[in-house]
Amino acid sequence: MGEGESCYSPPLLIPRASHLGQITITLLLSGCGRGCGSTPDGPDPTDSGPDGVYDTSPPIEARQGVATRLAVLVLDGARLEETLGGDDDWGDGWSDAWDGYTDGILPKVRSEVMPTGALIRHGYNTGVTTTTPAHGDLFTGHREPFLPLAHFDGLGQYLVHYPTLPEALRSAHQGQEGTAWIVANTAHIETVRYGLYPGLGPDLAASHEQLYENDLEADGFDQDDGRVIASARERLERGATMVLANLHQIDRAGHNQPYIYADTVASTDLELTAFHRWLAHESGFNDETLMVMIADHGRHRTVEDDAYPYTNHGCHCSGCREIPMFLWGAGIQRNVEVQLPVVLEDLTSTTAWLLGASMPYSTGLVLTDVLVGEPAVAQRRGDVRVAASGPLVAVQRWQDDRLHRSGLSVAGQDLGTPGAFQIEEPRVLSTQTSDYACWRELTLTEGAEHLPWLLECSRRALGGEWLDTDFPDEVQWPHVAPSLTSPQSGGLVLAYDNSIGEKTEGQVTADDFVIELARWSEDQGWTRSEATFPDLFYTSEPEIVSIDDELWVAFEAGLDSASARYTRQAYIYRVTWPQDGDPIWDFAYLAGTQDSTGHSYVRQAHPALATLDGALRVAWHAYDDQGVHLLITHANNPFRSTSWHTPRAVDDTAMVFGHIAPIWDSAGSLYWARQGDLLTAEVCRLEDPTALPDCQDLGVPFIDSLAATDAGAVVSASSGDGAWELIELSWLD
């Protein structure tokens, strides 16, 4: 990983159909911690001017589109204890890095900035707690398994799959350059300038200014964050409607010079306060501006026998997950504290609503408790992340409860741990004797040292009740989503990726990414095995099927740590797992970089497997500079190299939705999703590898997930109004 990355209505966003008004927001991602800020004494401490006199004019009432300008200032990697933590937060208001009380580190921000807006007391990054994935979550409002891969040879095609806010803003300005900017003294943020969503892309990317030459060297500490803030202000003065400025010096100091880390946080106090003063009183557009202060991630709190425990971040530690949040500006209440938990994606939904913009894939809630007045808000709702196996269907169901964000329904029955904060990504398997369901969930525990994602599985005999299989309570990475199969001998086998495992401290590298197998039987319970591949790096997205008792596993990976971004391909292994021994992995196939016409692709991802009469079929996403395509191949004898057919592009439109992996049904038919000519979503079916696909238009532009059933397919789709509904599709004659 790169420096700073350690363990861990209308389709607005389609430029041909988008029309947004001018935007003005300021997102100050300041790195302060949960519970940041304290309210000063005195009457009506609302909006202080440069002379210290409070502005008692009423705040602007919240409505869609009330904000018209956006700037994002990110104080990267500042821990709660070194920013705005209080005496009821971790450490009781004391910073071990500062060796003093935390309220002495950013005193001007506390006294002048914090009384002017809404303080979120419990903010969280529930995804990957490193810089690049966290900014991807914030820009898209949707967590996806996005690896923090270096980009020495350009960005390449390893990018986020969901629409980004910069793309939305530029599309609203007819693609005008200079509308959206990223300014940083790190290279990590460049990779979220734009995404791979069909119809958007590099022509709508945020402009990028990097103020630090070499992000991997330990020197260069004269590149202070004040330069980034100054550049952000200059971009706004020149008419930019969005600036994201990542102040990475804090994170860099934490990793490389931890003894000055707290001083580096303190050094931003005057610059942040001056920027807020200018924005609020001198810029000329303060009445149209929204400002949000937030951290992308925190840092470790406790590392045994380490004088500087806060050196790293990136796992499930509470110091990494708990992040500060503060909102100020048009439509935001003044001098209030919000006690309910808030996640990164909530800020995407809230700011987009205040901008009058639509981020249809954002999974966050609009934070109505920080808004002035009682505006009517259509929150995201309905059923998403559909999964199916034969007649068995499961969905993730959105909930408005900020304490319990999502639930799980399998065959109409609720599963998951009562009280869990998030329950996500169901996976199901129906066999002749049993039904199985697996999912991931996160529970927030106040004051805990670790806040881990866990993998859970249940099983029911046909006609019986769901029973917990007691999957071990071990740490999983935030995007664990197992693939399920049942060998001929019975039971259940899972394949899933992990980048954290038992590692709770220190820095995780590419070598720590593993593919894990887990086998369950009623007699023996769970047996697990971990597989690493010495010549492959950042292994992810595994898929597993079985032929008799033989297992076949596909996954994507890169060739080495430095070039994994540009060399990602799909690999297939045969796995023999004796009952009394460890699995034996044998390489079988590497998905080629060319199709049968000789067309080359620069990235392969999301391999999907199917078995039919002993043969193996494989489909995967293939990327070129035009977008995402779909390739397939098959082998009658999959372990014999000469049996594999040359890959064929069954969808070369470059409009395939990369956030939805292809999927096979039990009869060997392939399904995938793409954007059609009418800018609405289509689901395509390929019944025979040599045939042409048959596609059905959903009539709505957005699709969240796709599953194959006995009758055809079921999808979760939306018109963009926040409501997600299941649509059943059939290809019966």
Q: Which residues contact 21 (CB under 8 A, 6 or more apart)?
A: 65, 68, 172, 356
Q: How deeply is 172 buried, as exposed, middle or buried, from its count of CB atoms within 10 A (0-12, 13-18, 19+)? A: buried
Contact call for residues 472 and 456 (beta carbons, < 8 A): no
Q: What is the pLDDT of residue 240?
A: 87
Type of residue at 472: P
CA-closest candidate to residue 86, choices 126, 123, 121: 121
Beta carbons within 10 angstroms of residue 46's beta carbon? 17
What does the alpha-carbon distance between residue 663 and residue 706 come to, in Å, rounded to a whole number?
Answer: 8
Contact call for residues 390 and 373 (beta carbons, < 8 A): no
CA-closest candidate to residue 519, choices 527, 509, 530: 527
Q: For residue range 428-442, list pLDDT tens digits in order.
A: 999 999 999 999 999
Q: What is the pLDDT of residue 696?
A: 95
Q: What is the pLDDT of residue 510?
A: 62
Q: Which residues contact 159 (CB under 8 A, 6 or more apart)?
A: 191, 192, 194, 195, 196
Q: For residue range 487-545, list pLDDT tens digits in order.
A: 998 999 999 998 775 455 555 566 678 899 999 999 999 999 999 888 898 999 999 99
Q: Give the global pTM.
A: 0.91
What does the alpha-carbon distance between residue 30 and residue 247 come to, in Å, rounded to a whole number?
Answer: 8
Q: What is the pLDDT of residue 32?
A: 37
Type of residue at 450: H
Q: Which residues contact 595 (CB under 8 A, 6 or more apart)?
A: 601, 622, 631, 646, 647, 648, 649
Q: How deeply is 98 buried, as exposed, middle or buried, from its count of CB atoms within 10 A (0-12, 13-18, 19+)? A: middle
Query: For 378, how many CA atoms within 13 A lie in the half-sphere containing its CB?
Result: 13
Q: DSSP character for 467? A: E
What does the alpha-carbon distance between residue 78 and residue 247 come to, in Å, rounded to a whole number?
Answer: 10
Phi-psi region at 132: left, alpha or beta (left = phi > 0; alpha = psi -120 to 50)? alpha
Q: What length is written for the chain?
A: 733
CA-closest candidate to residue 475, choices 441, 515, 509: 441
Phi-psi region at 74: left, alpha or beta (left = phi > 0; alpha = psi -120 to 50)? beta
Q: What is the pLDDT of residue 16?
A: 28
Q: How deeply is 63 buried, as exposed, middle or buried, from its count of CB atoms within 10 A (0-12, 13-18, 19+)? A: middle
Whole-angstrom Cα Rg for the chain: 25
Query: Residue holding tokens 């899933």?
Result: 496
Q: What is the pLDDT of residue 58?
A: 77
Q: How far is CA 278 from CA 49, 244, 300, 332, 597, in A?
A: 9, 17, 34, 18, 58
What does the alpha-carbon distance between residue 169 and residue 23 come to, in Å, rounded to a whole number?
Answer: 7
Q: Residues in the chain with pLDDT < 50?
A: 1-46, 50-51, 53, 215-216, 218-221, 502
Q: What is the pLDDT of residue 48?
A: 52
**Phi then psi for 182, rounded to 5 degrees?**
-120, 120
Q: What is the pLDDT of residue 633?
A: 95
Q: DSSP character for 317? A: B
The CB-based long-range contact list for 609-616 (8 Å cut-off, 24+ gap) reads: 609/543, 609/544, 609/545, 609/552, 609/554, 609/572, 609/664, 610/545, 610/664, 610/665, 610/668, 610/670, 611/545, 611/546, 611/547, 611/552, 612/667, 612/668, 614/547, 616/545, 616/547, 616/552, 616/572
Collapsing DSSP states into helix, strand and coil, what is residue 621? strand
Collapsing DSSP states into helix, strand and coil, what is residue 730? strand
What does the alpha-carbon distance between residue 359 and residue 172 come to, in Å, rounded to a whole number?
Answer: 13
Query: Residue holding tokens 């909530």?
Result: 346
**Phi then psi for 718, rounded to 5 degrees?**
-150, 150
Q: What is the pLDDT of residue 221?
A: 43
Contact call for residues 294 and 27 (beta carbons, < 8 A): yes
What does the alpha-carbon distance between residue 36 and residue 80 come to, in Å, rounded to a whole number?
Answer: 7
Contact call for residues 542 and 560 (beta carbons, < 8 A): no
Q: Which two tokens stand for residue 296?
A: 């992308």
